[in-house]
Structures are given as structure tokens and as C-alpha cells.
Amino acid sequence: MAAAPPSLLSLCLDAVAADLTAGAAGGRRAGGCRRGDFEGVGGEDGEGGHLTIAPEEVADALPWELLHQLASRLPPAALESLHHAAHDRCCPSAATAVGFGVSDCDRRGIKRSRCEDFNTAWQALFRLRWPLYCNAAHDSLVTVDWQQKYWEKHLQECLDEAVESALLPSFYGNIDELTISAKIMGYILHSEDIPQHYSKLSYHCSKFGCYARCLRLQSVLCTAEISALLKCSKLETLMFVRIISELEASGVCMLLSCHAETLLSIEFIHCKLSPAVMDRICNSACQKEPLNHGIQNFSIKSSSICEKSNPLTISAGLLDFLSLGKSLRLLSLSDTKMQPSFAKLIVHTLLESSSGIQTLEITENNIAGWLKTVEKRSVCFSSALESNICLNSLTVLNLRGNNLSNGDIEDLCNVLVKMPDLRDLDISDNPIKDEGIRLLICFISRTFQKEKSLWKFRAENCDLSNIGVTELLKCLSSVSKPLNLLSIADNHLGSSFAAALAEFLGSGVRELNVEDIGLGPLGFQILEEALPSEVALSHINVSKNRGGIRAAHFVSRLIRQAPGLLSVNAGSNLLPPESLEIICNALKPNTCDLERLNLMGNNHLSNAVFPAAQEFRKHGKQILIVPSQQGPCAPYDDDP
């Protein structure tokens, strides 16, 4: 059957869209377009005598219903012009700045919301260009300004591309004069005829920088030129990568100083931040009058904050920054080569300043002995511990990977009592052994006597034995308020631990991680036979325990007896092919809430072994995650 001929309305809209697109590609300014901004508007464009239509004329002439149909036919640059023209029609007395910071109604009585109906068109353009990002990063229930998101991500792509060119040894010149590739330009113009000024990085920063709220800047972009081009941005989040030289640090300070009033989050990754540089950075982030800052999240990751020649030198600027941080909610210092004395001073500063911090992460730093009272300032720290000062707002403490021993845990418990509302404690990757876990058991048991008790506890890879962890589980099982999450992964506990674990499963715990604890077939058999009749689990990870067919039987029993189960990870357990049938038989009579059952790493399984595995779906997604095909040459999953 022949396709229906296009309607006259469709042909007219296509013609107007083509004209607006040609005008945008021929030199019209994208972003903040106003009447009189274009050369040859309403007349010849000077390049062939083509008569172009101004976006303002289209916005004035067409009703809203047709404007929305027209918007779906336009590339981003043309839609940007039409969007602003429609905004002027809706709010003619508004300022020319980008955005909708105007009253809800204009003198015509048109609602402001009518000006924002192009959001659907912007979402379609975003989804077309970044389909994976759009699906993964945004909840359907959250209202998103897709125009802002589109140009922010477009600008980030331009900046990332500029970095690739600027890092070449052959590059000489100004970064802001770098040319944007035809591929990126094609996304926003849908044309091969691109004016020269359109393809300059400076153009994109000046025109679309007003949409930027979150940017990631590599070292070569931290320059006075880029800072000036982003001056009109209202940046809330800045991530700096590989800041090494003094010149780059100066560029960072310019950016922080310029956006001190709007910044909420600062992050440094792979940087060299000497105490002197850190002082300058922290001072730049502070608003001058009054001297404070509104930073909520401050992170330094995989960066050096000490001098090699004098590792005990501490940045006074950082400590002052923390003292002034009444808005600070998260502080993360990961792999920063800090000394134990520095870690202690951070805790002391937060205590003394009565900080409102909620999350404190000091991870991947060798700070063994950090709380010992041997430093000059230990008297001040001891007095702080003995006073009534508390970190009442702190709910999350992460001390993963700091080489803490059982002696450090004894001192840590004295600090933990100053955190009365602590809900999440991570002590993983520290060799605290059974002696350390026993000290923490005393602290944990006291928290359960309070109204707000510990919810989440992680002690992964802590050199714990079956004896120490069994004592922990007995403590957790004896309280009236169950733990929400427990992770004891990567501790070799053995099959004899399974009996205590089975009993603990009846305590009401919601999330459990027992990955690679050495359960083996015997441990899974004990778990299956001793499993309580009803289990409150929502998530469980039993991967890398070499359980074989007994692991499949345990998973099958768990599915039947845990009605609220949402996810199971039983990967890398040497499951034989018949395991799929055992698990699927448990799924058939149970249409429970299970959304994901991960069996990856079991190389004898595949959809081809048991095709019925593909039938089980939740919210349109397959529940059983198995290797895509049976590989005869696949490596044995128990090999190191």
C-alpha cells in the first residue's frame, strides 16, 4: 500500500523548519537570540539571496500548538533560537539573560509554563544524541530541564575534545581558539555548512556556558581564558583532573573565586596539591565578606596533599576551610598520602567547629596510629574527646583501607562515642583481626540501646576468623532492631561458619554480603538445611564461594523462603549445567519480587543449556543473568 501523501500543514512546517535550520547554520547566534541579532533577517542573507525568516517572526505568527510541532523538526541550534523567541513572546518584558527567571505571567496573561513546553523536544534531542546516558542517569519521576542538560553535556564534550588537541606535543596557541570537530557540530546544526566562528571553543563556552552547572576540567583547561569564558556560568559542581603545576593551580583558583557564591561541590582527582597550593585553593573557594563558604561536598581522590620533603607539613588553609564549612555535608579524602597526624587534626577540627558534616570518608591512607596521643596537639584532641562536643550530624563514617590494627580500633571507639547518630560504618580492608572486631562489638551493642542505632556495617577483608565473626553475629541477632546491611566478604571463615550464618538470617537483616568467605559445598548444604522458614532478606551476595550444586539448592530454597527478595548474586560458584533447572523450578511457583539473579562466572551455564531461563522477566528485563554462551575454551572460574 502506498504511503499517504503529506498534508499541506506538514509541508509548510517542514519548509519553515528548513529555513530556520539554514538560518542557524548560516551565522545566527545560538543561545540568547533576540530580534536584530541576525544579518539579513527578513531579507537576503548575503550568501545567495535566500530570504530567511527570523525565529521571532515565527514565534509571533504561529499558535503554540504549531510551535510545538515545529520544534520537533528542528536541530538543537535552531530550536535554541526558537525557544528564546517564544520566551520573549511569553514574557516580553523579561531580561535578555538565558533562563526563565521571570514572573509566571506576562502582560498578555500567558502562563510561564506554556513557555517551557519545549522540554519534550529537548528531551528527544538529548535521547537521540546520548541514548545510554539518558536511560541510565535520570529517574522518570524526576522533572529534568532537558534544554539545560543538553547544552551542559554538549559543552563538556567540546571541552573534552579540546583537551585531546591541547595535550598533543605539536599544539601551540590559545586553547579557546581550538576548533570543534565537524562531528560535534553536525549534532547541533544538522548541516555541513558551518560558519568558522561557530566551530571555535570560545564560541561554545560563551554561548552555552550559561547552561553549565557541573563541569569536569582537565589541567590544560584551567587557564585565565577559560575562566573568563565561563564567567557567566552558574557552576555548582567542579571536578578538576591532574592539576600539577603552579600555573594550573592559579587557573583553578580563578575558577573557584569566580563561582564561590554558587559552588556546592568541589572534587580533585590525580592532582599534586602541596600545602601552599591547598591554602590558595581553600581561600579562593571562600566568599570574602563574610569569610565563609557554601560548599557541601569536598573530595580529594588519588592526589598528594603533602610535600615529599616535609610530609608532616599540614595545610592550615584546609583546616580553616573545614572550620568555616557550616554547609559542609560530605568530606572525602581518598588515597591522599596523608600522615596520621593530619587525619587526627581533621577529626579534631570537625569536632571543635561543631560541623554539620554528614559523611566523612578517609580511605586508602596509611594512618595506623593516627589517634595515639603522642603529637604536640594531642592535649587539645584529648580535651575535645573529654568534652561534651559531638558530631551530632555525622551518619556515615568510611575508614576503608587505612592499615588500621586492633590497637587503632580501641582508640577509634573513643571517637565513635562522639558520633551519636552514626548509621553507617565501614572498616573494611583493615587488618583489625578478631581482637578489633570484639572491641567494635562493644560499641555496636551500645548503639542498639539508642533510638537511632547502626544500620549498616562493613568489615570486609579484615583478617577475621570464624570465631570473631560468630561473636559479631550473636550480638547482632540478640538485639530487637535488626541491622539493615552487613558485609563480611573476603574473610576466610570456612564451612563451619554456615550454622551461625543461617541463624543470623532469621534476625531480619535486609542486605548481606558473604562473597568469598570459603563456604564450599558443605557450607551451602548447612545453610540450606538450617535456613529459617521465613527470611527478610532483600539482597544477598554469595558469589565466589565454590559451592557447586549445593549453592544452586541453597538459592532455590532461599527464593521460596524470602518473599521480599529482590536480588541474588551467586556468580563464580562452579555451578554445573543442571543448576539452572533447579533454580528455575523454584521460580515457577513464585512470582515474588525477585528482579535479578546473577549467575555470571559460572562458565558451564548458558541460555542454550536451559532455554526456559529466558522466560523469567521483571519489568521487561530478564531476571536470570547467565553467560551468553557456553565457551568450550573458557577459563576455569576457580583459577587465580
Same domain, residue pair 528 and 630: yes
Write down which residue in 408, 435, 463 finishes a domain.
Answer: 463
State how far the Cα of 546 lies from the Cα of 517, in Å rounded to an integer.
10
Would 493 be classed as within a structural domain? yes
**Domain boundary, last residue among 407, 438, 463:** 463
Domain contains 253: no
Confidence at residue 33, expressed as pLDDT on a 0 to 100 scale = 36
Tell me whether residue 270 is in a domain.
no
Provide the grid cell at 371.
Answer: 589517634
The verdict on residue 616 lying in a domain is: yes
Q: Are residues 495 and 569 in the same domain?
A: yes
- 545 in the same domain as 405: no
Domain of residue 42, residue span? 15-93+111-143
- Is residue 185 in some structural domain? no
Does residue 384 sit in the same domain as residue 421?
yes
Strands 359-363 and 596-598: unpaired
Amino acid 138: pLDDT: 55
- 489 and 601 in a common domain: yes
Helices (runs of H) and strands (runs of E) counted in the chain: 22, 17
C-alpha cell at position 493 = 571463615
Number of Cα atoms under 13 Å in the Cβ half of residue 482: 15
In this structure, are residues 33 and 55 in contact, taking their beta carbons and an 8 Å threshold? yes
Please give the pLDDT value at position 51.
Answer: 53
Low-confidence ranges of the chain (pLDDT < 50): 27-49, 94-114, 374-379, 633-634, 636, 640
450 and 502 belong to one structural domain: no
Sign of the CA dihedral with 455 first, then 461, 464, and 465 last: positive
H helices of 459-578, in order, are 466-477, 498-504, 520-530, 549-561
Number of separate domains in the chain: 3
Q: How many residues does the chain have?
A: 640
Handedness of CA 339, 341, 344, 345 (dihedral sign): negative
Residue 75 lies in a domain: yes
Contacts of 192 (CB under 8 A, 6+ apart): 182, 186
Please tell me whether residues 558 and 439 are part of one structural domain: no
Output the pLDDT for position 141: 59
Residues 449 and 541 in one domain: no
Question: Helix/strand/coil (H, E, C) string of 197-251?
Answer: HHHEHHHHHHHHHHHCCEEEEEHHHCCHHHHHHCCCCCCCEEEEECCCCHHHHHH
Residue 356 belongs to a domain: yes
Q: Is residue 316 domain-resident?
A: no
Concatenating the DSSP letter of every residue in 397-437 gives EE-TTS---HHHHHHHHHHHTT-TT--EEE--SS--HHHHH
Residue 535 maps to which CATH number? 3.80.10.10
Residues 528 and 425 in one domain: no
Task: Check whether residue 524 and residue 412 sit in a common domain.
Answer: no
Tell whether 629 and 492 lie within a shared domain.
Answer: yes
Cβ atoms within 10 Å, residue 5? 8
> Phi then psi for 597, rounded to 5 degrees?
-130, 105
Q: Are residues 503 and 622 in the same domain?
A: yes
Residue 464's pLDDT is 97
